[in-house]
Chain A
């Protein structure tokens, strides 16, 4: 039993590492974008699924991280990793700010507030044409000058693995316990001695930093940024990825992101209809499988295939 699991994992690992050699340039770039969405989706799941802070402004932090790095590198000619770091730091600061002013709000009000914040930021990026290039886009220096995108793939993989490891460590630590306690019942968490203000702000700061990191990577990979990356529709895609995978589990959210991004590209010939399909899939998942399709599939699989361990009951 254990041996089968190890062999499966090893095979998967080899496949992941050898991936750039197995596919054409198009699918390699799809994989890189999927990695980007996986980081964003996992950090949104951390904020919403674990800490219970409903934010629809997560893509705003992606765009903030991306533009910060892109602009700093362009205007001040600093090294790209430093620019990305600056994006992460700024996202942590602005994220704490949003978390702090949002302290008085709960549920739908916080969601509204973050939507408004996100749109305001997008409108600023659209309007300040002299600095950001507006809707026409901002040219961003590429991270690598290679012919193949393989270096991006491996850097992305390292970022994803690192982010995921950090997030998993976080949610299994006492901070993760406090996040969930606040999600479940804020008054009870406070009565239990949990510093609710500190941890709500922290949840925003941490999740926003990961969004900013993913954003920086995204910008320097694509080489061009438009304010659309921070749009509500992009947010919708990430929400769909997280919810369809399962927003209360980090691995499920990641798999949801990878699967949906692959599906987006595989269904490209169906044009815009695939977005409708995702919308429908999202609605069906919310309506009939609150914990995500993955948890549902996993439960079924665990019943049929003895190799698969039974899923944990609580997030």
Chain B
């Protein structure tokens, strides 16, 4: 088995009196392409937010590459190589496309401007955004903004990338483009966790699926296993 990138033990999150995530055990190894699925309100985004440091769990452990990361700031997770995108695209709207890319590039310890710029241009080329580098990010189309957000996460040279609902509100054309990009990046050795509520959209892409319902993990296995899991069928039928 390849190296363990992220691992949680009994992770729980509570908002007010509501248990959003309960006793979650979850692990991702290097080179995996994992889908995290579940109906709306099942705790997927809360899980991502905990695994990237944007929420501090009320209970449980998070290990990033074997190091206890519980309670660290989101920026520390980013520096440890945990990248993410957001459900609703979060860019630096009034900064240029290149500047958006340079923020993570220059936030990395020991980075140099020239190197970061080179890396940024390489990623923008890969994403097909190279011609737009001097435009303010807010002037891009919705699809270009999604790609830019992915590019910004890539600038961290992340060991693991969390994509939160990358296909939500995306036209079929762009969806296919994103799938191809993810496959290419995965072939280069990157590890992904992709969150979505739609099994059909994910099954073309991922190798392993983790299913959540009502804050709990109810299944974890190959796409084939999960599709025939009785509990999963029941959870989805309920919605």
| A–B: direct contact at CB < 8 Å | yes
**Minimum Cβ distance to chain B for residue A180 (Å):** 6
- Contact, CB under 8 Å: A190 / B75: yes
Known A-B contacts A192-B152, A194-B107; A185 and B74 likewise in contact (beta carbons under 8 Å): no
> Interface residues of B, CB < 8 Å — how many?
31
Q: Does B121 contact A (CB under 8 A)?
A: no
CA distance A180 to B155 in the complex (A): 18
CA distance A194 to B90 in the complex (A): 14
Measured CB to CB, the nearest residue on chain B to A188 is: B90
Of B62-70, B96-104, B167-175, B222-230, the stretch lying at the interface with chain A is B96-104
Known A-B contacts A185-B91, A197-B73, A314-B94; A191 and B106 likewise in contact (beta carbons under 8 Å): no
- Contact, CB under 8 Å: B136 / A189: no
**Minimum Cβ distance to chain A for residue B118 (Å):** 16
- Contact, CB under 8 Å: B78 / A185: no
CA distance A195 to B93 in the complex (A): 19
Residues on the A chain within 8 Å of B155, using CB: 192
CA distance A69 to B102 in the complex (A): 41
Q: Does A72 contact B (CB under 8 A)?
A: no
Residue interface bits B159-178, CB-to-A below 8 A is 1, else 0: 00000000000000000000
User: Which residues A174-201 have CB closer than 8 A to chain B?
Assistant: 174, 177-178, 180-181, 184-185, 187-197
**Minimum Cβ distance to chain A for residue B211 (Å):** 25
Contact partner of A192 (CB less than 8 A), chosen from B93, B96, B156, is B156
Contact partner of A191 (CB less than 8 A), chosen from B78, B102, B113, B136, is B78
- Contact, CB under 8 Å: A191 / B108: no
- Contact, CB under 8 Å: A189 / B73: no
Measured CB to CB, the nearest residue on chain A to B101 is: A192
- Contact, CB under 8 Å: B92 / A180: yes
CA distance A195 to B107 in the complex (A): 8
Residue interface bits B199-239, CB-to-A below 8 A is 1, else 0: 00000000000000000000000000000000000000000
**Minimum Cβ distance to chain B for residue A309 (Å):** 16
Measured CB to CB, the nearest residue on chain A to B74 is: A190
CA distance A174 to B99 in the complex (A): 10
Interface SS of B by simple majority: mixed
Residues on the A chain within 8 Å of B152, using CB: 188, 192
CA distance A236 to B16 in the complex (A): 40
Q: Does B26 contact A (CB under 8 A)?
A: no
- Contact, CB under 8 Å: B107 / A192: yes
Residues on the A chain within 8 Å of B83, using CB: 191
Measured CB to CB, the nearest residue on chain A to B109 is: A193
- Contact, CB under 8 Å: B95 / A314: yes
CA distance A192 to B102 in the complex (A): 9
- Contact, CB under 8 Å: A191 / B95: no
- Contact, CB under 8 Å: B136 / A194: no
**Minimum Cβ distance to chain B for residue A311 (Å):** 14
- Contact, CB under 8 Å: B136 / A193: no
- Contact, CB under 8 Å: B52 / A195: no
Q: Does A275 contact B (CB under 8 A)?
A: no
Residues on the B chain within 8 Å of A191, using CB: 52, 54, 74-75, 78, 83-84, 86, 90, 153
Measured CB to CB, the nearest residue on chain A to B89 is: A188
User: Which residues A261-315 have CB closer than 8 A to chain B?
Assistant: 313-315
Known A-B contacts A174-B113, A196-B75; A188 and B94 likewise in contact (beta carbons under 8 Å): no
Q: Does B57 contact A (CB under 8 A)?
A: no
**Minimum Cβ distance to chain B for residue A187 (Å):** 6
Residues on the A chain within 8 Å of B52, using CB: 191
Residues on the A chain within 8 Å of B39, using CB: none
CA distance A130 to B40 in the complex (A): 65
Measured CB to CB, the nearest residue on chain B to A197 is: B73
Measured CB to CB, the nearest residue on chain B to A184 is: B92
Residues on the A chain within 8 Å of B43, using CB: none
Known A-B contacts A185-B91, A191-B54; A177 and B102 likewise in contact (beta carbons under 8 Å): yes
- Contact, CB under 8 Å: A181 / B74: no
Contact partner of A178 (CB less than 8 A), chosen from B91, B94, B103, B153, is B103
Measured CB to CB, the nearest residue on chain B to A190 is: B74
Residues on the B chain within 8 Å of A193, using CB: 75, 78-79, 103-104, 107-108, 156
Given contacts A181-B92, A196-B73, 18 further A-B contacts (CB under 8 A): A177-B102, A177-B106, A180-B95, A180-B99, A181-B103, A187-B90, A188-B91, A190-B53, A190-B54, A191-B52, A191-B74, A191-B75, A191-B83, A191-B90, A191-B153, A195-B107, A197-B73, A314-B136
Listed A/B pairs (21) with beta-carbon separation below 8 Å: A174-B102, A174-B107, A177-B99, A177-B102, A177-B106, A180-B99, A181-B95, A184-B91, A184-B92, A187-B74, A188-B90, A189-B75, A190-B54, A190-B73, A190-B75, A192-B107, A193-B75, A193-B156, A194-B75, A194-B103, A195-B107
